[in-house]
């Protein structure tokens, strides 16, 4: 699992559009932190720190630590506002988690390895499921779920039930859902038929009745 991201913030006393505008000029944005069984908190954080999180592979699903004047909590993006003209983050709602609370997250599925059994010509590994839902504590959220395809054959697809996860992580997708299979792609030759031109004698016979009728 990647090193936990820590973002520093400070409580804000001034609220309203003018106060928010001053924050943005200073390179910060207003954020509201709520959940976790305690009251919501209005704070301000550096826009570059939050924007960097949104650019990661996990994006809005990233669980990170928010340090508000020394009070550190695990949080996740619950909602965000983007300036429609500049495309910049201008406000964020962050959800705070109580100790031991589990959350539902969507994480990517990565296939690893290569089938050890010989494959016939045109056989390729096809990934049917690229993301999977998990339930776990924020600190135990995996960056990705890996599935080894070494033992996979044409007759044996891999399902959610074949995925192994660490302690404290529960898979929420149907165990029978296919994750990966081997497909055989075969080339099909397409025959094109060309109409044969009529023989010279046949063409003359076909024209003869037309000439006689003209007389």
118 and 169 co-located in one domain: yes
Between residues 106 and 155, the one the model is more confident about: 106
Instruction: Return the HEC string of the chain.
Output: CCCCCEEEEEECCCCCHHHHHHHHHCCEEEEEEEECCEEEEEEEEEHHHHHHHHCCCCHHHCCEEEEECCEEEEEEEEEEEECCCCCCEEEEEEEECCCCCCEEEEEEEEEECCCCCCCCCCEEEEECCCEEEEEECHHHCCCCEEEECCCCECCECEEHHHCCCCCCCEECCCCCCEEEEEEECCCCCCCCCCCCCCCHHHHHHHHHHHHHHHC
pLDDT at 110 over 90: yes
Average pLDDT over residues 46-51: 92
pLDDT at 212: 47
Global pTM value: 0.61
Give the CATH number of the domain where residue 94 resides.
2.40.240.10
Per the prediction, the chain carries an average pLDDT of 83
109 and 58 co-located in one domain: no
Average the pLDDT over each of 39-53, 87-101, 135-149, 192-206 and give the range with the smallest value: 192-206
According to DSSP, the β-strands at 6-11 and 64-68 are: parallel
List pLDDT tens digits, range 184-207.
Answer: 766 656 665 555 555 555 555 555
pLDDT-above-70 percentage for the chain: 81
Nearest to 94 by CA among 72, 113, 127, 124: 72
Average pLDDT over residues 113-118: 78
pLDDT at 197: 55
pLDDT at 146 over 50: yes
List pLDDT tens digits, range 60-80.
Answer: 878 889 999 988 888 998 899
91 and 117 co-located in one domain: no
Taking the alpha carbons of 72, 74, 79, 85 in that order, is the dihedral positive or negative?
positive
- Could you list the residue range(s) of the whole structural domain that residue 64 is in? 6-98
pLDDT at 189: 60
179 and 112 co-located in one domain: yes
Average pLDDT over residues 46-57: 89
Average pLDDT over residues 39-66: 88
pLDDT at 173 over 60: yes
21 and 91 co-located in one domain: yes
Give the CATH number of the domain where residue 137 resides.
2.170.120.20
């Amino acid at each position: 699992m990647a090193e936990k991201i820590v973002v520093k913030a400070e409580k804000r006393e001034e609220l309203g559009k003018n106060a928010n505008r001053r924050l943005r000029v200073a390179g910060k944005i207003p954020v509201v932190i709520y959940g976790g069984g305690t009251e919501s908190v209005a704070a301000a954080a550096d826009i570059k720190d939050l924007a960097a999180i949104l650019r990661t592979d996990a994006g809005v699903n990233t669980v990170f630590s928010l340090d508000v004047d020394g009070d550190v909590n695990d949080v996740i993006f619950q909602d965000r506002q983007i300036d429609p003209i500049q495309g910049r983050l201008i406000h964020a709602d962050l959800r705070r988690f109580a100790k031991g609370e589990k959350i539902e997250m969507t994480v990517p599925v990565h296939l690893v390895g290569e089938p050890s059994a010989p494959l016939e010509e045109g056989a390729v590994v096809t990934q049917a499921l690229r993301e999977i839902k998990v339930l776990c504590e924020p600190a135990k959220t995996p960056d990705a779920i890996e599935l080894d395809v070494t033992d996979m054959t044409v007759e044996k697809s891999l399902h959610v039930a074949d995925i192994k996860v660490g302690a404290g992580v529960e898979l929420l997708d149907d165990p029978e859902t296919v994750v990966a299979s081997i497909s055989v792609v075969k080339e099909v030759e397409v025959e094109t038929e060309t109409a044969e031109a009529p023989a010279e004698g046949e063409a003359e016979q076909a024209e003869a009745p037309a000439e006689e009728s003209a007389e």
